[in-house]
Each structure stands twice: as structure tokens, then as C-alpha cells.
């Protein structure tokens, strides 16, 4: 396995000191290392989307003549197709970048269903995009050789190069503790209170990552069944769009989006579309832990964003923020009188139970149970 600081020394030798992207749990130790070292000789910009990351890295190249390193989970590969083909491409601006792509769903390795397809087509997709790639070796000597080759290729062709990163490539790195605001609740505490206050005829759409897993476990524990919930296990950022259309189609039901700050900021444009079509039964709940908690707790940009003002500026009819269980209970007791679309931002601490399970039903079973319940009514 690779020690983060050893790998970084190799990057440094090639003047690869600018990093940006969206985190992936495949290399969360590497993410923590970069975050700790940001400002100490390296730059690490944790951005809101993979597509965006290509823009930042291309800007860095234009300003310095040096390629940036862009990290992402392979689920983000689809998001970079447009800027790779219209910004980096050799026939357009011919801008190099070193992509580090976490290989979820690697064939023959156990993983979650939402990663299977992308895991199978990752290499093909890179080939189609004319991105030369290697699997990042887990021995330092081999990694040194591959990175030297990648750098040489980027210098001579000015084309992007990708390193595919398998699970267990990095040694454990312990993140430095930084002082953080502390709140009353975790995401799971907030979700439990919320779900316990909903009615039998309310519809729930939960975002990707641990939020969906916690919703599933709480419904099991409460013996409520899963028919009211659509757990969007992949497609980060789209729980909101999906829920908004459900709300427009089912005006007699309250529809709750259980969103994350990272997922919302990845698809922040959805706020304007929701505000424009203004479903009068849509409750947009954002569980704001200021982190990409599900991939290791890397900071999102939400600490410098006023989500309440964002919602109101986009024509949400109401928006409030709560930071304690009692404030949350209070807001939930008043939903009858709330004008929608409305946003409820819940400030929580980052982190989750270490024994959190995963849904035991498949995405197709989830969809069928959900549609059985709602599609004919
Ligand atoms: C397009 C895409 N990029 C990255 C990921 C990896 N990923 C899964 S969950 C997650 C973090 C989500 O953060 P947030 O919405 O704030 O929810 P939290 O995990 O904090 O509850 C990330 C980055 C993904 N699934 N899809």
C-alpha cells in the first residue's frame, strides 16, 4: 500500500501540487492528507462537482502552465464528459490534467449496486474519451514509474491522463482534528425525528450516501415498511429533481426531499427550477453537516453559504434553519400551515454509527414497492 506522504513526494517532484475534485471513499486517506496539507506547499480545492473541478484545473493550467490533479469517484466520470470533450480536448484547447479516478464497482469485487455499471465501463469510457490511463500501482516504485510516464505524456501531448485508483491502495492516514462547530444532533438523530413526525401518506425521497442507509434502518426498526421511501442510492444531487416532479404529479401528498448539503450544492441549479414550478406540497429538507460525510467527512463549501437565503432568492415560499431537536420538533408541528415549496435546513454534526447497515432490498425492489404504492393513485 502507498503512504500518502510518499506518494505526494512523487507528485511534488513533477510539480504536481494543485489538487481539486469531489471526494471518494476509495481514497479517503489521500483526501484527508491533501486537506491537512492544503496551504503548506500544495493547494487542495474541494469543489461541488466533478464537472466544475475540470474548470478549476483548466483555469490553473491557463494561469501557471502546470497541469492540475483532479480527483473523483468513477461515478463522476459521466459528469466530466462535456468539459473533457469541449475544454480539455486536443482539438479544442488541448489542456492536460491528471485525473485520479476511484474505481467503485470494480468487476469481481463486492460493491453497492449503483456502482456496478460504471465499474464495468470505467476503462472503456476513458478510452472513448481519448484519455490514456493506468491503474495506480500500490507499490511506491511502480507508482513512481507510472506517474513519471503520465507526466511525460502530459508534457509532450498536453492531453489528460488518468490514474485509476483501486480500493486499499492507500495506507491509513489519521486526519488532524480541526475545531468544528458542535450541534445537538447527528444526521441520524435528525432523520429519526423527522420520519417519526411524518404521516402515513407522506412521500420521502432520500439522497445518496449514509442518509438513505439511515432512513432504511429506521423504517426497519419502526416496522413501517419502505413503500413511502425512494432511496436514491446513486445519482448524487438528483433526489431533489426527482422529488419535485413527484410532488407536481401528486399534489395531494406532502413530498419530503431528504437532501445533503453536498448533494444540494452539486445540483444547486435545481433550486431555481423548483422555485419556478413551485410545487405547493414540496418540503426540501437539507441535513447540513458541512461535509461530504459519506465519503469520509471532507468539508463542503456550505459553511460559507446561507442556504435559507438561497432558497428564498429562488422563490421558495418559506425557509428556516434549525440547530436543535426541540427547534426541529417545533417546525415539524407547524408543517400544516407552511407555504411550499419550503426549505428546512437542519444543522447537525458530521459522523455516523460505525455499524450502520445497507439496504437489504435492491434498487429495483425499492422502485417497485414505491410505484405499487404511488403510481396508480
Ligand atoms: C457524481 C458523484 N460524485 C461523488 C459521489 C461520491 N459520494 C457519495 S455520497 C457523497 C457525499 C454526499 O455528501 P452530502 O450530500 O453532504 O451528504 P452526507 O454524506 O454529508 O450525508 C459523495 C461525494 C457520488 N456518489 N456521485
Strand, helix or coil for residue 291: strand
Q: Is it the case that residue 114 has pLDDT exceeding 60?
A: yes
What count of Cα atoms within 13 Å lies in the side-chain half-sphere of residue 100? Answer: 32
pLDDT bin (cut points 50, 70, 90) of residue 336 is confident
pLDDT bin (cut points 50, 70, 90) of residue 176 is confident
Distance in angstroms (rounded) separating the CA atoms of residues 8 and 125: 27
Q: What is the pLDDT of residue 123?
A: 98
**132-135 and 18-21 strand pairing:** unpaired
C-alpha 94 – ligand 1 centre gap (Å)? 30
- pLDDT (mean) for 310-315: 98
Q: Is it the case that residue 377 has pLDDT exceeding 70?
A: no
pLDDT bin (cut points 50, 70, 90) of residue 243 is very high
Q: What is the pLDDT of residue 171?
A: 97
Mean pLDDT across the chain, nearest whole number? 96
Ligand 1 neighbours, Cβ below 6 Å, are 22-24, 73, 75-76, 79, 187, 207-211, 234, 236, 260-263, 289, 291-295, 300
Phi-psi region of 231 (alpha: psi -120 to 50; beta: other; left: phi over 0): beta
- Peptide linkage before 341 cis (omega within 30 of 0): yes
**161-165 and 229-231 strand pairing:** unpaired
Q: Which atom of ligand 1 is nearest to the CA of 209?
A: 9
DSSP 39: T
Q: Which atom of ligand 1 is nearest to the CA of 287?
A: 21
Q: What is the pLDDT of residue 177?
A: 77
Q: What is the pLDDT of residue 344?
A: 98
Q: Is it the case that residue 33 has pLDDT exceeding 60?
A: yes
Handedness of CA 331, 333, 335, 338 (dihedral sign): negative
Distance in angstroms (rounded) separating the CA atoms of residues 311 and 91: 40
The residue whose grid cell reads 432558497 is 311
Taking only the tens place, the pLDDT of each residue in 255-311 is 999 999 999 999 999 999 999 999 999 999 999 999 999 999 999 999 999 999 999
Distance in angstroms (rounded) separating the CA atoms of residues 204 and 227: 9
Distance in angstroms (rounded) separating the CA atoms of residues 109 and 102: 13
Amino acid at each position: 500500500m502507498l503512504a500518502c506522504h510518499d506518494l505526494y513526494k512523487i507528485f511534488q517532484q513533477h510539480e504536481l501540487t494543485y489538487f481539486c475534485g469531489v471526494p471518494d471513499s476509495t481514497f479517503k486517506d489521500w483526501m484527508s492528507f491533501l486537506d491537512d496539507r492544503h496551504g503548506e506547499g500544495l493547494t487542495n480545492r474541494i469543489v461541488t462537482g466533478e464537472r466544475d473541478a475540470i474548470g478549476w484545473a483548466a483555469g490553473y493550467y491557463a494561469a501557471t502552465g502546470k497541469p492540475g490533479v483532479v480527483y473523483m469517484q468513477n461515478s463522476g466520470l459521466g459528469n466530466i464528459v462535456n468539459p473533457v470533450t469541449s475544454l480539455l480536448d486536443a482539438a479544442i484547447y488541448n489542456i492536460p490534467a491528471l485525473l485520479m479516478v476511484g474505481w467503485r464497482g470494480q468487476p469481481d469485487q463486492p460493491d453497492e449496486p449503483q456502482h456496478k455499471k460504471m465499474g464495468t465501463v470505467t476503462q472503456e469510457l476513458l478510452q472513448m474519451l481519448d484519455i490514456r490511463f493506468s491503474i495506480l500501482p500500490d507499490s511506491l516504485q511502480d507508482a513512481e514509474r507510472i506517474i513519471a510516464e503520465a507526466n511525460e505524456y502530459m508534457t509532450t501531448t498536453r492531453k489528460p491522463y488518468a490514474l485509476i485508483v483501486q480500493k486499499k491502495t492507500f495506507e491509513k492516514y489519521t486526519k488532524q482534528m480541526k475545531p468544528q462547530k458542535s450541534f445537538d444532533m447527528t444526521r441520524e438523530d435528525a432523520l429519526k425525528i423527522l420520519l417519526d413526525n411524518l404521516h402515513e401518506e407522506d412521500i420521502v425521497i432520500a439522497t445518496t450516501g449514509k442518509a438513505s442507509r439511515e432512513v432504511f434502518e429506521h423504517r426497519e426498526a419502526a416496522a413501517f415498511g419502505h413503500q413511502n421511501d425512494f432511496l436514491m442510492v446513486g445519482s448524487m444531487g438528483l433526489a431533489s429533481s426527482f422529488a419535485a416532479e413527484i410532488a407536481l404529479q401528486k399534489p395531494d401528498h406532502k413530498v419530503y426531499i431528504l437532501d445533503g448539503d453536498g448533494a444540494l450544492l452539486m445540483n444547486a441549479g435545481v433550486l431555481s427550477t423548483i422555485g419556478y414550478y413551485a410545487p405547493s406540497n414540496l418540503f426540501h429538507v437539507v441535513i447540513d453537516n458541512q461535509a461530504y460525510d459519506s465519503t469520509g467527512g471532507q468539508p463542503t463549501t456550505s459553511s460559507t453559504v446561507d442556504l435559507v437565503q438561497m432558497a428564498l432568492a429562488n422563490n421558495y415560499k418559506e425557509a428556516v434553519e434549525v440547530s436543535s431537536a426541540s427547534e426541529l420538533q417545533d417546525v415539524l408541528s407547524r408543517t400544516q400551515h407552511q407555504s411550499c415549496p419550503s426549505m428546512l435546513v437542519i444543522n447537525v454534526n458530521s459522523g455516523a454509527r460505525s455499524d450502520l447497515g445497507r439496504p437489504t432490498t435492491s434498487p429495483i425492489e425499492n422502485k417497485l414497492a414505491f410505484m405499487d404504492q404511488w403510481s396508480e393513485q
